[in-house]
Amino acid sequence: MASAPRMATASPAVRSLSEFSSEVVGGLSHPGQKELPSKYLYDAVGSALFDVICLLPEYGLSRAGMRMLERYSGEIIGRVPGPVMVAELGSGSGQQTRWLLEALARRQRVNYYPIDISGSALFRCQQELGQIDMVSIVGFERAYLDGLQEVAARRREGERLLVLFLGSTIGNFDRPAGDQFLREVRSILREGDALLLTTDLEKPVPTLILAYDDPAGVTAAFNKNLLARINRELGGDFDLANFEHVVRWDETERRIEMHLRSKVWQRVTIRKAGFRFYLREGETIWTESSHKYNPREVVQMGECSGYRCAGQWFDSEWPLAQNLFFAV
Ligand SMILES: C[S@@+](CC[C@H](N)C(=O)[O-])C[C@H]1O[C@@H](n2cnc3c(N)ncnc32)[C@H](O)[C@@H]1O
């Protein structure tokens, strides 16, 4: 029987408001390129907009992930033996995870721990997955590694931990930071624990640009909502009409970058942070990166971070890889 969805209760809300404020000020005071951390794209509005992005025909990544897990979950789970508990980093609303949980629940009762900094995404996740037979959910409104540490502490004797990091969210880290992140995850795991990592693969640039700059403007709204969030939560006075959503492909770094370009010279005040800054006409604020990979480098990323690769699965319509690693 599915148990009633529960949320971890110790909400770090107060601390996170001051963290939000100091990271915003840090990023906007950056010499040269101004930037804002992409994790702040996901408040309640941003998480809802992201779910809409996943429905867009241009954003093939999400549908490919879903298609692959529908097709290969049995095979993937079959390679992870024994009693298994599941943690998911950045679960979002958990739509792709259903297939994996159902495959595992055919063999055992499942404790599933989604970890996400967005409380509203977790709520949606619990609605989406809370009714699967044999699966109980406890959500953690935490940053990835804090949440994973708490989840790992719940491990029962003889249980293996399967960590999911889906949706190519790893691509938000630049490559050295991605390697470092995988190492930090590994330091929380035990030998034999598993990591299922989704990585979006390189594809024609026009396809990628369209995926992050859809004609309906949903991704633009998702991006601009970051400024709206600063207005709402930190007393900012960003005028959203003075910004445009810009998407670029960086050939050297092999990544999509999302920026917000100032259409005019402007002064912005963020009252609760006691901070004022200026933007030149044409200057941008960099809000997100999505790195793209080739299959071989993903294996290497895992191998240099303390894992061995136990399988890779590919989608033929939208080049994407599901990569299964074991901690060694
Ligand atoms: C690109 S979405 C992917 C969602 C889902 N895994 C999917 O594939 O559709 C990234 C998710 O990670 C969460 N997230 C971003 N940064 C985070 C962090 N530092 N700690 C925990 N969650 C984070 C966001 O709130 C969001 O739900």
Q: Tell me the pLDDT tens digit for each residue of 32-67.
A: 999 999 999 999 999 999 999 999 999 999 999 999
116 Cα to the center of ligand 1, angstroms: 6
- For atom 14 of ligand 1, the residue with the nearest CA is 90
221 Cα to the center of ligand 1, angstroms: 17
Residue type, 89: L
Compute the distance between CA of residue 318 and CA of residue 26 in angstroms, rounded to an integer.
Answer: 37
Query: What does the pLDDT read at residue 15?
Result: 58
Query: What does the pLDDT read at residue 296?
Result: 98
Predicted structure pTM score? 0.95
For residue 17, pLDDT over 90 is answered with: no
Using one digit for the tens of pLDDT, what is the confidence trace for 256-272?
999 999 999 999 999 99
- Burial track 241-275 (b if 16+ CB lie within 10 A, e otherwise): ebbebbbbeeeeeebbbbbbebeeebebebeebeb
Average pLDDT of 275-284? 98
Domains of the chain are: 57-203+292-327 (3.40.50.150), 207-291 (no CATH)
Using one digit for the tens of pLDDT, what is the confidence trace for 163-191?
999 999 999 999 999 999 999 999 999 99
Q: Could you tell me if 133 and 1 are in contact, meaning their C-beta atoms sit under 8 angstroms apart?
A: yes
Q: Could you tell me if 104 and 133 are in contact, meaning their C-beta atoms sit under 8 angstroms apart?
A: no
For residue 3, pLDDT over 80 is answered with: no
Q: Mutation test of ligand 1: which of 45, 116, 173, 184 has the most ligand atoms closer than 8 Å to its C-beta?
A: 116
Q: Could you tell me if 200 and 168 are in contact, meaning their C-beta atoms sit under 8 angstroms apart?
A: yes
> Rg for the chain (alpha carbons), in Å?
20
Using one digit for the tens of pLDDT, what is the confidence trace for 88-118?
999 999 999 999 999 999 999 999 999 999 9
Determine which helix (DSSP H) or strand (DSSP E) holds 138, and give its type and residue range. Answer: strand 135-139
Compute the distance between CA of residue 249 and CA of residue 256 in angstroms, rounded to an integer.
Answer: 5
pLDDT range class, residue 12, cuts 50, 70, 90: low
113 Cα to the center of ligand 1, angstroms: 14
- Lining ligand 1 with CB less than 6 A are 39, 42, 47, 50, 54, 62, 90-92, 96, 115-118, 121, 143-144, 166-167, 169
**Could you tell me the end-to-end alpha-carbon distance of the chain, in angstroms, rounded to an integer?**
34
Nearest ligand 1 atom to the CA of 116 is 22
For residue 306, pLDDT over 80 is answered with: yes
Compute CA distances 318 → 63, 92, 191, 201, whole Å. Answer: 9, 21, 33, 8
Instruction: Report the percentage of the chain scoring pLDDT > 70.
Output: 95
pLDDT range class, residue 16, cuts 50, 70, 90: confident
